[in-house]
Amino acid sequence: MTEVKITLQPKQKEFRKAVENNPVVFYGGSKGGGKSHALRNILLIRRFEHPGTKGLLVRRTYDELIANHIDMLYREQPELMNKYYSKGDKTLYLPNKSIIRFRHLQHPKDVYNYQGQEYEDIAIDELTQHTKEVFNILRTSNRTTIKDVKPKFFAGGNPGGIGHAWCKKLFINREFEFNEKPEDYSFVSAKVYDNKALMDNDPAYLERLRALPEVLRKAYLDGDWDIFEGQFFAEWNIECHIINPYKLDIKFKRFICGDYGYSKPSAIYWCAIDFHGKVIVYRELYEKGLTYEQLGRRIVEMTPNEEKIDYAVFDPSLWGTDSATGLTGEMLVRRGGLTDRNISLFKADNERDYGWGVMRDFLKLKKGPYGKDESGIVFFKTCFNAIRTIPEQIFDAVKVEDLDTEGEDHSADSIRYGLVSRVIRPSDPNKEVKKEESKEEKWFKERMKKLKRIGLK
């Protein structure tokens, strides 16, 4: 039997104890806290303790998986890896029939490849790089049929990333949804100072963290979960922005807004405007794999004949021309049936900072026509993906005026296009406004040109 010696530092031992005592444990805080080492080695320890069990270790990208775990295991356990690791399927087959699979999960949709699989332990390195949907789907594979073995889900992560908001809410603030049991979730703080091996061998690493810009320094050195504070749309309020569907007045003006995607979902929304100017988002199409023409057909299919749509506004990418056919996406969407239904299609204003400001203004609570605090936009609760993804948006770590586009931002973009189409942009006082000539002025100018040509001026 190959000799395996595993060393854990005090804070990593605390993490291991928490894993033994809780179904879900998050080891989080600053960079350099020894999270990756703890994850793979606790996963390895438990495979030896529980013969015939399966463990899954996930990192977001393949390169990170190799550099942070597989290469490190070759360095830490060379004999074990040389004897039992299969490079072909990136799986460690231990002699006691236990296995550890090493996988990367770069795109949220890839998580559905794990449905139906079974792992006694699942470990995710950098959980904050993933959406809560990824977390929830993976947890359905965290199960066992082996007696006396309790499945464990454990992860590491730093503040920031597309999963910052939900990780902070669940593990730091301990705010739970109706189906989440507080006793199932545990958090162990990890700071760079807890990693004595790193401090001894690379003391300059601490100085590199201290040299980061303030926002990143507080997140990556201090483990400050408030520095990326909250949602991009802090105005979002479940009680105010989500309503039960009702029959809309036929006199309400209506429009459609959309963000096109093929490998990613197209997010299309039907909106009505009530007599007080409130926007009601009442129908949703959220589907990937649609061509432009198919998208046009789906919009027509989902729009009843008696429903008059004043216009549709889409992301500007539709107006790009295909070099092979000479057609634009806008032409093809129209060909899908919008022209037959007399639905005019317009290019959206895509100035992001301005658009997010407009969207925030619609989301804010203000005194309504009856003296009650109301928002300028509401969503039927049947618009599942808008309700799910809009409150998950977080600030970009670099361009803080914008949201992190690595997140699932399709619904937010679509609604932004729609709301901007409803407002008149203020004119730029620094921009010279060209006065349009009257018919008389145009006639006089043309007349003078003609007289000059024939020499009468």
Q: Which domains are present in the chain?
A: 10-220 (3.40.50.300), 238-420 (3.30.420.280)
pLDDT digits (tens, 9 = 90+) for 290-309: 999 999 999 999 999 999 99
Please classify residue 277 by burial: count the beta carbons closer than 10 Å to its beta carbon, then call 0-12 exposed, 13-18 middle and 19+ buried: exposed
Whether the predicted pLDDT of 457 surpasses 80: no
Whether the predicted pLDDT of 8 surpasses 60: yes
Distance CA 353, CA 403 (A): 9
Whether the predicted pLDDT of 225 surpasses 50: yes
Q: Residue 433's pLDDT band (boundaries 50, 70, 90)?
A: very low
pLDDT digits (tens, 9 = 90+) for 98-114: 999 999 998 887 888 88
Range with top average pLDDT, 90-104, 160-174, 198-212, 438-452: 90-104
Other CB atoms closer than 10 Å to residue 211's CB: what's the count? 10
Lowest mean pLDDT of 31-35, 250-254, 302-306, 435-439, name the range: 435-439
Token pair of 97, please? 């029939």
Other CB atoms closer than 10 Å to residue 283's CB: what's the count? 18
Contact 241, 377 (CB under 8 A): yes
The average confidence (pLDDT) of the chain is 87
Taking the complete model, does pTM exceed 0.85, yes or no? no
pLDDT confidence of residue 202? 78
Q: Residue 442's pLDDT band (boundaries 50, 70, 90)?
A: low
Whether the predicted pLDDT of 230 surpasses 50: no
Other CB atoms closer than 10 Å to residue 6's CB: what's the count? 13
The DSSP output letter for 111 is G
Q: What is the CA radius of gyration of the chain?
A: 28
Whether the predicted pLDDT of 228 surpasses 60: no
Whether the predicted pLDDT of 94 surpasses 60: yes
pLDDT confidence of residue 428? 53
Q: Residue 50's pLDDT band (boundaries 50, 70, 90)?
A: very high
**Sole residue written with tokens 């349009």:** 436
pLDDT confidence of residue 366? 86
Token pair of 289, please? 């794999």
Q: Residue 436's pLDDT band (boundaries 50, 70, 90)?
A: low
Q: Residue 166's pLDDT band (boundaries 50, 70, 90)?
A: confident
Distance CA 164, CA 167 (A): 5
E-assigned strand segments in 31-110: 54-59, 85-86, 91-93, 99-104
pLDDT digits (tens, 9 = 90+) for 320-343: 887 777 889 999 999 999 988 999
pLDDT confidence of residue 2? 66
Whether the predicted pLDDT of 359 surpasses 70: yes
Lowest mean pLDDT of 39-43, 254-258, 389-393, 447-451, name the range: 447-451
pLDDT confidence of residue 107? 82
pLDDT confidence of residue 286? 97
- Stronger pLDDT, 407 or 431, i.e. the higher one: 407
pLDDT confidence of residue 427? 55
E-assigned strand segments in 288-381: 311-314, 345-347, 365-367, 373-375, 377-380
